[in-house]
């Protein structure tokens, strides 16, 4: 397969996180299906976010919501990035405010 490579990322969810090498043509949906029991997520109702650390030209890093059907490589995921799976704001318990920099309904 031409152009396929492996990216080394951290996948994180409510149940924990795991460092993993994953094919760049994999989708967040496939990642959730493969790692769901380890990180505490299911495919239904999960939101995936891409977090990239600061890099040359992007001193603050990036944080964007991912389309779960689009391959990681097409979403700009690179070595050292983090994919975070969480429940969308409307599905969280009233006392679960999320993190202070939660994307909420942005995307």
Assigned token pair, 47: 């939101």
CB 107 within 8 A of CB 64: yes
- Residue reference for tokens 């109702």: 45
Helices (H) and strands (E) in the chain, counts: 1, 5
Segments of the chain with pLDDT less than 70: 1-3, 90-107
Give the span between the Cα atoms of 3 and 68, in whole angstroms. 20
- What predicted TM-score, i.e. pTM, was given to this entire model? 0.77
9 exposure class (CB count in 10 Å sphere: 0-12, 13-18, 19+):
buried
**Can you list the domains of the chain with their CATH numbers?**
6-91 (3.10.20.90)
In this prediction, residue 5 carries a pLDDT of 93
Closest CA to 20 of 103, 91, 80: 80
C-alpha–C-alpha distance, residues 14 and 88, integer Å: 12
Q: What is the pLDDT at residue 105?
A: 33
């Amino acid at each position: 397969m031409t152009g396929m490579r492996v990216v080394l990322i951290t996948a994180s969810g409510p149940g924990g996180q795991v460092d993993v090498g994953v094919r760049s043509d994999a989708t967040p949906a496939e990642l959730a299906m493969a790692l769901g029991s380890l990180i505490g997520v299911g495919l239904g109702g999960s939101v995936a976010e891409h977090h990239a650390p600061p890099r040359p030209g992007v001193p603050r890093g990036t944080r964007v919501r991912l389309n779960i059907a689009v391959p990681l490589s097409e979403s700009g995921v690179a070595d050292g990035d983090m994919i975070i799976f969480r429940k969308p704001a409307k599905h969280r318990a009233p006392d679960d405010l999320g993190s202070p920099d939660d994307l909420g309904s942005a995307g």
